[in-house]
Amino acid sequence: MASPKNSWVLKGFFSTLFVLICLLAFLLTACQKNDQQGTASKEETAPTASVPQTATPAEGAEKALGPGDPVIEVDGVKMTKGQLDTEVNRKLESIRKRVPAEKLPQVKTNIQKRLIDDFVVKTLLNNEVNRLKITATEQEVNEAVEKLKSSLPANVSLENLLKKNQMTREKMREEIRLGIQINKLMVSRTKNLPKPTEKEITSFYKKNQDRFKLPEAVHVRHILIARAPDDGEKVIAEKKAKAEGLRKKILAGADFAELAKSNSDCPSKSAGGDLGIVSRGQMVKPFEDAIFSLKKNQIGPVVQTEYGFHVVQVLDVRQPKTVALDERTKGMISSFLLQQKQQEAFRKMVASLKEKANIIAYMP
């Protein structure tokens, strides 16, 4: 079952370390749960990236390329067909089960184009930070590694993450180092951007009221006794009885969090079963119906879903409301608007670098 996350009122917040995050995003996708039903693949739904318009098609670009042949060249730096195919296959493998077979060819094409464009942008930025002699210290790299570690789920280690993504620790540090250098480049280009005015903040708030509406939600925790697809009737009955027994213990005064830690089959067990704030549409229907029928602090009946049996408790109930334009909200809006300006500055910088670069495309 998908674990809900506390949502920002403003969607699409843009971190000042966005470049580093983008470079490491492929690593973090390994942490995402793949069992969410109805979730479309990003590679399927995201806008297709394209080779920059400044790229010059090479002579004979229509011919079939071998593994050692370049597919794109940026100021003399080349990506080979073999390198591209390796990355494409790795990404396809991670999403294959979530994409209908008939859509895989288009998804593959989208991934290819996105990887090529990413290579172009990364190479241009790498060349620019080197030209400007922007560096990253070992301490900065170490701190970024620790930050990455702290962002991982409790059940995912950095070593397992690297292994799953077929990346060495040295390669990871190299990517992080470049991310830090690019971030320094962006800081230097955006440090003089004007801060959003009070008028801009108020105007954004009035024009984007939907962004500030908080839906009905509940703060919930649960204990999951998971069932397997091949469980027989006897095993299912035993698991249901276990869940009922845990519920009785809680009603008799036992500590919910402690029982969750020692009995739950959900990763949330490490947090005492706490799933955080949940809105409608985030959970499977039987679970959603159960938790939204409960009052604050109420222990509900055992809920059966496709995942197993759940002992649930609602810790708080939040009624629908619109967030007021107070100082905290103004600060969030100000940050969001400033980050939009930073994104635009980044796009303009990359566009300028592309115009000056010699980019040759070898794929049709």
pLDDT for residue 150: 84
CB atoms near residue 23 (< 10 Å)? 19
54 phi/psi in degrees, rounded to 5: -80, -5
Q: What is the pLDDT of residue 56?
A: 62
The pLDDT score that the predictor gives to residue 20 is 42
> Hunting for tokens 């699409």 — which residue is that?
12
The pLDDT assigned to 62 comes to 52
Per-residue pLDDT, 44: 43
Per-residue pLDDT at 6? 32
Residue 324's pLDDT band (cuts 50, 70, 90): very high
Mean pLDDT of 110-124: 94
Residue given tokens 């925790």 in the structure block: 221
Which pLDDT score is estimated for 352?
96
Query: For the chain, how big is the Rg over CA atoms in Å?
Result: 25
Residue-wise pLDDT tens digits, 34-53: 333 333 344 444 433 344 54
Q: Is the pLDDT of residue 63 over 80?
A: no
- What pLDDT score does 326 carry? 95
Residue 55 pLDDT grade (very low, low, confident, very high; cuts 50, 70, 90): low
Q: What is the pLDDT of residue 29?
A: 37
Higher-pLDDT residue of 182 and 62 is 182
Range in 152-161, 260-269, 275-284, 299-308 the model is least confident about: 152-161
Q: What is the mean pLDDT of residues 53-61?
A: 58
Mean pLDDT of all residues in 68-79: 95
- In contact, 239 and 281? CB cutoff 8 Å: no
Q: Tokens 């002992």 correspond to what residue?
A: 311
Domains located in the chain, CATH noted: 18-195+333-361 (1.10.4030.10), 216-319 (3.10.50.40)
Give residue 238's identity as a one-letter amino acid code: E
Which range is most confident: 25-39, 71-85, 97-111? 71-85
| Residue 330: both structure tokens together | 């103004």
- Provide the pLDDT for residue 2: 42
* Confidence class for position 156, pLDDT limits 50, 70, 90: confident
Instruction: Output the average pLDDT for the chain.
Output: 84
CA distance 120 to 73: 8
pLDDT higher for 28 or 362?
Answer: 362
pLDDT cut 90: percent of the chain above it: 68
Given this model, what pLDDT does residue 157 score? 85
Return the pLDDT at 195: 93
Per residue in 224-244, pLDDT (tens digit) is 999 998 999 999 999 999 999
pLDDT per position as a tens digit, 189-204: 998 999 999 999 999 9
pLDDT of residue 164: 79
pTM score of the predicted model: 0.63
**Separation in Å, CA 78 to CA 22, 58, 359, 363:** 21, 13, 10, 12
Evaluate if residue 4 carries a pLDDT over 80. no
